[in-house]
Amino acid sequence: MEKSVAIIGCSALPVGKWQSKPEDANQVLEHEVLAKLVVEAVRQAGIDKSDVQGLSFTMNRHYTLQKYFATFMANYLRLPCHGTVSEVLGNGMTGGWAFDNAANDIVLGRARVSLALGVNFETAARAQDHMMSSMRATGDVDFQSIFGITPIAWYAMDATRYIHDHGSSRAELASVAVKNRMHASLNPLAQFRKPITLDEVLEQRPIVEPLGLYEVPPRSDGAVVLVLADEEYAKSLGKPYVRVRGRGFFHEGAHQISEIPNDMTAFASVQGASRQAYETAGVTAADIDVAELYAPCTIVEVLAAEALGLTPVGKGARWASEGRTALGGDIPISTSGGLTSRGHPAYVTPLYSFVEIFEQLMGLAGERQVHGAEIGLTSAELGNYNAALVHILEGIHQ
């Protein structure tokens, strides 16, 4: 029988601005931050260092000077091991791939415990300089980047189209930002925790119309360590854990836009990935108690939730404005505060989603606890949700 994977511990840096500027006397370096989180996560998991047999890192941003980070860290942590020691990259899905990589170590029997981990430091770079790189990650350099199309401009065009197709409004979409800030106010890991009103969101300066400053992601640094284990081993520890119950992935074979016209806001990748994830988990969308979505902008949460079947198509924004996707609502979404308020250190953002679902399913989410949460969902994506990676997780209380 195929081995199943459990999450038995995690640690995370509060999302914020951590990266030092080149001229600072005291530098804040990625490997020091991450090494402390590794030791903390392994201690909390209640296992021994020698149990850890794999290190699956997210790729660092190009600002990180230490190269070959995975093998550097194997040395820094003095960790001889037989599993994976590597870095993965997949745009916004990077953290999801690191998770899958570590899980594969366990499924393939190469490790009893494997870590999915990473650090994303980028805030010392100015936004306009950072976008010189990110626009090339989210578009064809010679046929799209030449027009200055920024990563979130694609999401803004989703918003324009969604409002047109479904008679929604900017105010309905903006209510997602208000809801997520309320969630973030209850999350010690969140970057922005002061509650905001709908009027405040609507008054912000435009960034990519119709979206304003509070409807798009901030610049963020972050670092996360997840401890993954063979479920049999997790059981033997005699403590509650989170089980990976299902997984689905789908790339629609297009990047940003499909050259053959399609319904861009249907998020075909999410439909395909979630179908596979629900099937392997033996659940339906109605069984999900809490969902932590990769959604850099308000509109993206709305579209992903609809494609996942968590909200009705064309009504997702309205559901948010009615509080139905907030804590206490029909289906709480982005209880961490989401990317707009918890923050968005992009390469590790999906790892923060696992942290949130882990805490929810372990009953450790404090004031933002979804009562009785048993089954949670995470999604990761890249491009304009051209690919989606969906995991269904279950809390096991023993």
Report if residue 266 touches other proteins, rule: CB under 8 A: no
Return the range that interacts with other proteins (CB under 8 A); candidates 45-53, 94-102, 158-166, 180-188.
158-166
Return the range that interacts with other proteins (CB under 8 A); candidates 135-143, 166-174, 327-335, 349-357.
135-143
Q: Which is nearer to other proteins, 343 or 395 (CB)?
A: 343
Exactly one of 1, 2, 78, 129 binds other proteins (CB under 8 A); that residue is: 129
Secondary structure (3-state) at 255 = strand
Report if residue 139 touches other proteins, rule: CB under 8 A: yes
Q: Please tell me the distance from the alpha carbon of residue 380 to that of residue 191, in angstroms, as a whole number.
A: 20
Residues 196-215 interacting with other proteins (rule: CB under 8 A): 205-210
**Whole-number CA gyration radius for the chain:** 20
Which uninterrupted H or E stretch holds 366?
none
Contact predicate 180/334, CB 8 Å = yes
Check residue 163 and give left, alpha or beta (phi > 0: left; psi -120 to 50: alpha). Answer: alpha
Exactly one of 22, 143, 194, 238 binds other proteins (CB under 8 A); that residue is: 143
Return the range that interacts with other proteins (CB under 8 A); candidates 48-56, 102-110, 256-264, 366-374.
256-264
Exactly one of 45, 47, 135, 268 binds other proteins (CB under 8 A); that residue is: 135
Task: Please report how close the Cβ of residue 206 comes to other proteins at its closest, in angstroms.
Answer: 5
Q: Which is nearer to other proteins, 208 or 244 (CB)?
A: 208
Segments in the chain forming alpha helices (H): 30-45, 69-76, 94-107, 127-137, 151-166, 170-184, 198-203, 231-236, 268-281, 298-307, 316-321, 338-341, 349-362
Check residue 338 and give left, alpha or beta (phi > 0: left; psi -120 to 50: alpha). Answer: left
Q: Which is nearer to other proteins, 103 or 157 (CB)?
A: 157
Binding-residue total with other proteins (CB under 8 A): 41
Return the range that interacts with other proteins (CB under 8 A); candidates 37-45, 121-129, 282-290, 374-382.
121-129
Secondary structure (3-state) at 367 = helix
Exactly one of 140, 232, 279, 330 binds other proteins (CB under 8 A); that residue is: 140
Closest CA to 274 of 299, 246, 253: 246
Q: Which is nearer to other proteins, 108 or 127 (CB)?
A: 127
- List Cβ neighbours of 330 (8 Å cut-off, separation of 6 or more): 319, 324
Report if residue 149 touches other proteins, rule: CB under 8 A: yes
Report if residue 138 touches other proteins, rule: CB under 8 A: no
Q: Please tell me the distance from the alpha carbon of residue 86 to that of residue 76, in angstroms, as a whole number.
A: 14
What is the spatial order of strands in the sheet that 85-88 belongs to?
85-88, 52-58, 113-120, 222-230, 5-12, 241-251, 387-396, 375-382, 290-292
Report if residue 44 touches other proteins, rule: CB under 8 A: no
Exactly one of 25, 78, 188, 260 binds other proteins (CB under 8 A); that residue is: 260
Report if residue 276 touches other proteins, rule: CB under 8 A: no
Q: Residues in the site for other proteins, rule: CB under 8 A?
A: 126-129, 131-132, 135, 139-150, 153, 156-161, 164, 205-210, 256-262, 264
